[in-house]
Amino acid sequence: MTKIKTVFGCQNCGYQAPKWLGKCPDCGSWNSFVEEQLSAMPDRSARSITIPGQDTSPQSILAVETSEEGRLKTNVSEFDRVLGGGLVIGSVVLIGGDPGIGKSTLLLQALDKLAKKDIRVLYVSGEESLRQTKMRADRIGVTSGNLFVLAENSLEKIIDDIKKLKPNVAVIDSIQTIFTLQLQSAPGSISQVRESAGKLMLLSKSTGLSTFLIGHVTKEGAIAGPRVLEHIVDTVLYFEGDRGHPYRILRAVKNRFGSTNEIGVFEMKDGGLEEVANPSELFLAERPIDVPGSVVISSLEGSRPILVELQALVSPTSYGMPRRTAIGVDPNRVSLLVAVLEKKVGINLAQQDIFVNVAGGVRVEEPAVDLGVVSAVASSFLDKPIPSKTMVIGEVGLAGEVRGIHQAEMRLKEASKLGFKRCLLPRSNRSRITAEFPGIEIAGVGSVEEALETLF
């Protein structure tokens, strides 16, 4: 009788050890080891993929023929843009997000659009029955007969069905519910997820099937088996948003076939997700007018400038340690900017709690929002409002200087479209602006002090 070989695998990062460990030496997570049978196929298989009909010997790069990657447009333009201009044929896309955020809805809608273009698509649900899927489909108004549905968990059965049906696009909802009979570990365990994703990847590359894998996010904020899966697939998208808000943002974090800066904005409605063509308008809709602590900033998301409202609340602290809380912007950046305000402008914030929030559940990461943070904090502290039709952009350095940002003209154009009257921006940008922006007064500033003088 052959002895069954087992290993202990970390469910967080995939690290393997011959015996059980309390703490993973690789990623440091506790109590994450589970005994698993050694996979029949070593995981190397997922990485060395040979595509039939392709020359496997080394070639000169000049001899390699290129053709534009074939792409399928879903006609959900926000979705296509995030994918880099449509879905690449034969690619594998991982979509992660919190439960209930709308991943299943988004993909069912995208598949329906594809099916309407006479493309055969298959939606595999490992979580919901066919009837539940149908109920959702009715809710969002799916009408195409080219959309096939399958409620199945077994990887072997799914692959069989895909080979029989020969769809062009398949969705696996979700990868954590799929299991292969070749492994004994439970569905959702890291070896099952890796094995299933690897096999589906192989199938996609060899048949030209485009596959979407839906992945749940663990409470730590990473797709279960994060490192393993993110490396295997071509594209990783995150669908995020605040459950309390109807806005949802689709963000690319890895894309072999496009930019990772692009975002798509959707609004969850009764009849499914609706694209938001002009996010700035949406994000500024409920803005309080002429209230201290509120300022409009511009964040460049991929090829689009989006105007959002940044709010700050500064109030005397009742604890020994003043609180600094930031939502939607980097808290470290906020601490740094507060220090600049104290040292360079002389505003004493040592006894103040400071809260900074980007309205609408948006997250901004650009340094160009620095001047906005500084202005909002100062505005709240001084209790002086910043006029509502004013936009503030610029990076702030530790010496209190305001540094140039990129794509200033594009941001000004968006502001002018939305009827803004004034824009504060770095002096270095001001001198380079050649285009005319009727109706907007453009003020160039060189330092934080100068910016606050101009504003208040």
Binding residues vs ligand TYD (CB under 6 A):
97, 99-105, 136, 139-140, 268, 270-272
Quick one: 100 or 438, whose CB is closer to ligand TYD? Answer: 100
176 binds Mg ion (CB under 5 A): no
- Total residues binding Mg ion (CB under 5 A): 1
Quick one: 104 or 191, whose CB is closer to Mg ion? Answer: 104
Tally Cβ neighbours within 10 Å of residue 161: 17
Residue with tokens 């015996």: 19
CB of 154 to ligand TYD, least distance (A): 21
Residue 117 contacts which entry, Mg ion, ligand TYD, none (Cβ below 5-8 A, type-dependent): none
CB of 188 to ligand TYD, least distance (A): 15
Q: What letter would DSSP give residue 346?
A: -
Selection from 349, 343, 348, 378 nearest residue 451 by Cα: 378
Residue 400 contacts which entry, ligand TYD, Mg ion, none (Cβ below 5-8 A, type-dependent): none
Quick one: 173 or 401, whose CB is closer to ligand TYD? Answer: 173
Quick one: 77 or 132, whose CB is closer to Mg ion? Answer: 132
H or E segment and range at residue 307: strand 304-316
Beta strands in 319-396 (DSSP E): 324-327, 352-358, 390-392, 395-396
Residue 268 contacts which entry, Mg ion, ligand TYD, none (Cβ below 5-8 A, type-dependent): ligand TYD
Annotate 82-107 with three-state secondary structure: HHCCCEECCCEEEEEECCCCCHHHHH
Residue 118 contacts which entry, ligand TYD, Mg ion, none (Cβ below 5-8 A, type-dependent): none
Residue from 32, 104, 311, 379 that binds Mg ion (CB under 5 A)?
104
Q: How far apart are the C-alpha atoms of 10 and 335, rounded to whole Å?
A: 36
H or E segment and range at residue 72: strand 71-72
CB of 248 to Mg ion, least distance (A): 13
Residue with tokens 């700035």: 280
Selection from 385, 311, 381, 389 nearest residue 348 by Cα: 381
In sequence order, the β-bridge partners of residue 94 are 213, 236
CA angle, corner 421, sides to 419 and 426, nearest 5? 120
Residue 141 contacts which entry, ligand TYD, Mg ion, none (Cβ below 5-8 A, type-dependent): none
Selection from 297, 312, 278 nearest residue 364 by Cα: 297
Burial label, 218 (beta-carbon count in 10 A; 0-12, 13-18, 19+): middle
Residue 390 contacts which entry, Mg ion, ligand TYD, none (Cβ below 5-8 A, type-dependent): none
The DSSP code sequence of 199-255 is: HHHHHHHHH--EEEEEEEBPTTSSBSSHHHHHHHSSEEEEEE--TTSSEEEEEEEEE
Quick one: 74 or 104, whose CB is closer to Mg ion? Answer: 104
Residue type, 25: P
Selection from 412, 366, 406 nearest residue 391 by Cα: 412
| Residues between 323 and 362 that touch Mg ion (CB under 5 A) | none
Quick one: 125 or 210, whose CB is closer to Mg ion? Answer: 125
CB of 262 to ligand TYD, least distance (A): 20
**Nearest residue relative to Mg ion (C-beta):** 104
Residue 346 contacts which entry, ligand TYD, Mg ion, none (Cβ below 5-8 A, type-dependent): none
Quick one: 196 or 390, whose CB is closer to Mg ion? Answer: 196
Quick one: 140 or 382, whose CB is closer to ligand TYD? Answer: 140
Residue 102 contacts which entry, ligand TYD, Mg ion, none (Cβ below 5-8 A, type-dependent): ligand TYD
Residue 105 contacts which entry, ligand TYD, Mg ion, none (Cβ below 5-8 A, type-dependent): ligand TYD
The alpha-helical segments, DSSP class H, found in 181-323 are: 190-207, 226-232, 279-284
109 binds Mg ion (CB under 5 A): no
Residue 136 backbone phi and psi in degrees, to 5:
-65, -40
CB of 125 to Mg ion, least distance (A): 8
Quick one: 136 or 157, whose CB is closer to ligand TYD? Answer: 136
Where does this chain bind Mg ion (CB under 5 A)? 104
